[in-house]
Chains A and B, each alone.
Chain A
């Protein structure tokens, strides 16, 4: 009898303590973050988003005074990671690293379990990863004009790291503008797609800077253009598509942090400030440059608006190229 009473007393005490903690803790938003933050990633360890995410997370953890734990939930074009964040609480402890593909899937996938526009708000941009338009040297086309001429006469194959990727849509947009037709050959992952253009299995690929540059140096491939609006410090000699006369033909493989759209402003501000502070560190800029990325700083509102623009932009590309996805 005694022990039973004692038991219930203990459990009552525990419940009250628990309540007390929640009651006192919830209004004290100023203390965010008070436990580890999970950063969801939609791609595998070792991928570009993973590397950029780990560089930023490591610094943000120091700034915020709480661990930022990376959780890789690869699959379905990154939509699993996004879905997990929508299903979690809007308390700022679950954030997701989104990339350009998250602005493409709203057009290419009908069965998404979230709505990118309504369910998410931006925290801020991390970086842009420019893509190099590389062609195999056996084609004998040292510049864009000769490549386009060559593409009009013969069969050109281009590789993509997956169907519905930013590389595929950008190549389709380019083909349309240049008035050429090329055949898409899908690979699984950027590594295999890069290998295909180096070995001349295909003739063209929109490759990342770090894997492409050594092979440009060795003379296997040539970089004819870069996809971003401005040239990259990592490949300063490569002209932009705009310089080559393809006005408005740009593709930013952007990487940004997002949270649930109903996350309180105070929390978003804390995260955004930490992100900005991390991106301004010289060692972060250096590491980004080494992996072929350009740091990009903006505000939460700018990021949210940018994401919406990107959805419209890629929807137009898909419609104009007449691409269909099941």
Chain B
């Protein structure tokens, strides 16, 4: 009963023309920004921040949040159509989304990712409504030791995220881990592998790497092909825009698996959308009967990661609101927007400012509904991008990539990084080395090392701490099982064959 009263309060807050207007404005801006490759929602949110001084705190947050989750909808579109991911978290979607697009199924692919995004968000919103305090407590007790074990688990589950050779995939994870070492050593403050560039002291900018090895590399490989094989200038019919019933059926289970994965990882400050997309994809490849379909246009390969990264985006509000601890810079900005108005996020937020908490929650749902309704008719427009001749399209892609990467740190150095990683990416594509596992390696590498070092400091050098803590022990056990089980299965099968 209580929940109904709370939700009624939330609807009461949101269902005013002005608040709905702010919500609509937020999600629309977010979606458009999300579609542009490389341009994240952070630039837009930080620019609109001073405007929120003059809004009600609830409305301010509803608008800023709308930009954030709205961007999660748009960023898979260019992954699917052009193999140019909008953000590192949608790089996974390109693995199967782009092959689908090449098969003339871009429309159904975007439809499914939109539906998956909506489902993932809704799942996380329900968790947010019912279990926020409990989830926040869980997130709080997830310490350095648990983080390290989670990173190990993530690395092992997701290291297969690559079509083709497994060994090449694992090798690229290690290259990524090595690239993740660039930056400042957390325990001594020493700069490592920065080669005298102060721009590298905070590590390699992930977006620059992603745009280099995916976006710009894709442009070059495409231009390198004979004109007839460039795979654009398709004819689009309305019928080809919608997925078949079989496609939808194939997407259901991956969505059901992706949503809890995304919610769980989104709740942990700092883990976030990128890792959850990779893990969700990794899980799909492990449960699939025929693993060889992945990378060639498997519906599961787009449905699961898109569900997961949207669920994660929505779930990342829990630590921000219920603990007052932001997971990343975007969450910190939203926290700031509330603080300026004297609203202090933390354990007392739900009781002290119920109208803000429940209003925001209801606005999430309404905003996601708006995005769903806006996106479905837009599919035809997006797919028509493919009918633009590539000679007009690729300069636009390159320009947007540059603008997007520059907007992350306002740094021209990052543009040089894009160039360097385009050269590397092209070499990789010639050698058939997959870029996605490298991205994962960079993301996980930094967090793994930091948390390992902290855990060892806290245990005064005793590695047993990883087995003494229950959550950590379970995660490590699962990691071992993932490696060992297929081996045992293989041995059993051989034994069986021998006896027969």
By a beta-carbon cutoff of 8 Å, the part of chain A in contact with chain B is 44-47, 50-51, 54-55, 57-58, 70-76, 79-80, 83, 108, 113, 155, 157, 162-164, 183, 185-188, 191-192, 194-196, 198-199, 201-202, 210-211, 213-215, 217-218, 283, 286-287, 290-292, 325-326
* Among B46, B188, B342, B460, contact of A70 (Cβ-Cβ < 8 Å): B46
Residues of B within 8 A of A198 (CB): 140, 323, 325
* A71 and B332 in contact, given A195-B140, A213-B344, A214-B348 (Cβ under 8 angstroms): no
User: Is there contact, CB below 8 Å, between A183 and B411?
Assistant: no
Contacts of B450 in A (CB 8 A): 187-188
Cα–Cα, bound, A51→B345 (Å):
16
Residues of A within 8 A of B270 (CB): 192
21 residue pairs from A and B, CB less than 8 Å apart? A44-B332, A45-B333, A47-B329, A51-B340, A55-B53, A55-B340, A72-B46, A74-B409, A75-B199, A76-B201, A76-B202, A80-B201, A163-B187, A185-B454, A187-B186, A196-B143, A196-B144, A199-B140, A214-B347, A287-B340, A291-B340
CA distance A54 to B184 in the complex (A): 28
Q: In the complex, which residues 150-178 of chain B have their Cβ closer than 8 Å to any Cβ of chain A?
A: none
Does A185 contact B458, Cβ atoms closer than 8 Å? yes
**Cβ contacts under 8 Å, B144 to chain A:** 196, 201
Whether A46 and B323, one on each chain, are in contact in the complex, defined by CB atoms closer than 8 angstroms, is no
B336 contacts partner chain A, Cβ-Cβ < 8 Å: yes
Could you tell me if B409 and A201 are in contact, using CB atoms closer than 8 angstroms?
no
B269 to chain A, nearest CB (A): 7
- B366, chain A: closest CB distance, angstroms: 25
CA separation between A292 and B339, bound complex, in Å? 9
Top-9 shortest CB links A-B:
A214-B346, A46-B332, A163-B189, A46-B333, A45-B46, A76-B201, A75-B202, A218-B347, A58-B50
Complex: A211 Cα to B45 Cα, angstroms: 21
B293 lies within 8 A of chain A by Cβ: no
Q: Is the CB of B458 within 8 A of A157?
A: yes
In the bound complex, CA of A3 to CA of B186 (Å): 64
Of B189, B202, B269, which is in contact with the most chain A CB atoms at under 10 Å from its CB? Answer: B189
Assembled-state Cα–Cα distance A157/B49 (Å): 36
Contact of B336 among A50, A58, A283, A325 (CB under 8 A): A50
Known: A46-B326, A185-B454. A326 touches B332 (CB 8 A): no
In contact, B325 and A191 (Cβ under 8 angstroms): yes
Residue of B with least CB distance to A219: B347
In the docked arrangement, what's the CA distance between A186 and B334, Å?
25
> Is B457's CB under 8 angstroms from A183's CB?
yes
Assembly CA distance A199 to B138 (angstroms): 10
Contacts of A157 in B (CB 8 A): 457-458
- Most central of A73, A155, A191, A201 by chain B CB within 10 Å: A191
Q: Please determine whether B348 and A188 come into contact, CB atoms closer than 8 angstroms.
A: no
Residues of A within 8 A of B341 (CB): 290
**With a CB–CB cut-off of 8 A, which chain A residues contact B49?**
45, 54
Closest-by-CB residue of A relative to B347 is A218
B335 at the interface (CB under 8 A from A): yes
Query: Do A46 and B329 touch across chains, with their CB atoms under 8 A apart?
Result: yes
Q: Does A73 contact B411, Cβ atoms closer than 8 Å?
A: yes
**When A51-B340, A213-B346, A287-B340 are in contact, do A83 and B325 touch as well, CB less than 8 Å?**
no
Are B46 and A194 in contact, with the CB atoms below 8 A? no
Contact between A46 and B409, CB atoms less than 8 A apart:
no
0/1 string, B437-467, CB within 8 A of A gives 1: 0000000000000100010011010000000
Residues of the A chain whose Cβ atoms lie less than 8 Å from the Cβ of B409: 72-75
Which residues of B lie under 8 Å from residue A325 when comparing CB positions? 188-189
Distance (whole angstroms) from the CB of B26 to the closest CB of chain A: 17
Contact A290 B332 (CB under 8 A): no
Query: In the assembled complex, which residues on chain B have CB atoms less than 8 Å from the CB atom of A326?
Result: 188-190
Chain B residues at the A interface, C-beta cutoff of 8 Å: 42, 45-46, 49-50, 53, 140-141, 143-144, 184, 186-191, 198-199, 201-202, 269-270, 323-327, 329-336, 339-342, 344-349, 409-411, 450, 454, 457-458, 460
Contact B198 A75 (CB under 8 A): yes
CB distance from A291 to the nearest CB of B (A): 5
Chain B minimum-CB-distance residue to A211: B324
List, in ascending order, chain B residues with CB within 8 A of A194's CB: 325
Cβ–Cβ contact A45 & B50, under 8 A: no
Q: How far is the CB of B227 from chain A (nearest CB, A)?
A: 38
- Complex formed: what's the CA distance from A51 to B46 in Å? 10
Instruction: Give the residue among A50, A196, A210, A218 with the most B Cβ atoms within 10 A.
Output: A210
Contact residues in B for A55 (Cβ distance below 8 Å): 50, 53, 340
Known contacts A73-B409, A211-B325, A188 near B340 by CB under 8 Å: no
Alpha-carbon distance between A51 and B411 when the two chains are bound, in angstroms: 21
Contact B324 A210, beta carbon cutoff 8 Å: yes
Report whether B336 and A291 are in contact in the complex, using a CB–CB cutoff of 8 Å.
yes
Known contacts A46-B332, A51-B336, A191-B332, A164 near B454 by CB under 8 Å:
no
For B332, the chain A residues whose CB sits under 8 A away are 44-47, 191
CB distance from A56 to the nearest CB of B (A): 10
Give the CA-CA distance A57 to B199 in the complex, in Å: 25
Q: How far is the CA of A57 from the CA of B46 in the complex (A)?
A: 13
| Residue from A47, A54, A70, A83 whose CB has the most chain B CB atoms within 10 Å | A54
Instruction: Name the B residues within 8 Å of A51 (CB-CB).
Output: 336, 339-340
Q: A76-B198, A214-B344 are in contact. Are A195 and B50 (CB under 8 A)?
A: no
- When distances are taken between beta carbons in the complex, the residues of chain A under 8 Å from B342 are 286, 290
Contacts of B188 in A (CB 8 A): 163, 325-326
Known contacts being A44-B332, A80-B198, is A163 close to B186, with CB within 8 Å? Answer: yes
Report Cα–Cα, A70/B42, bound state, in Å: 13
B141 proximity list for chain A (CB < 8 A)? 199
Query: Bound state CA distance, A80 and B269, in angstroms?
Result: 26
A215-B346, A287-B340 known; 15 new pairs, CB 8 Å cut-off, are A45-B46, A46-B329, A46-B331, A46-B334, A57-B50, A71-B410, A75-B201, A163-B187, A186-B187, A194-B325, A201-B143, A210-B339, A214-B348, A214-B349, A290-B340
The residue on B at minimum CB distance from A193 is B325
B347 touches A215 (CB 8 A): yes
**Cβ of A186 and Cβ of B346 under 8 Å apart?**
no
Residues of B within 8 Å of A192, CB to CB, are: 269-270, 325
Instruction: Report the bound CA distance from A234 to B340 in whole Å.
Output: 13
The complex places the Cα of A48 from the Cα of B341 at a distance, in Å, of: 15
Contact yes or no, B347 A191, CB < 8 A: no
For the complex formed, measure the closest distance between the CB of A284 and the CB atoms of chain B, giving whole angstroms: 10
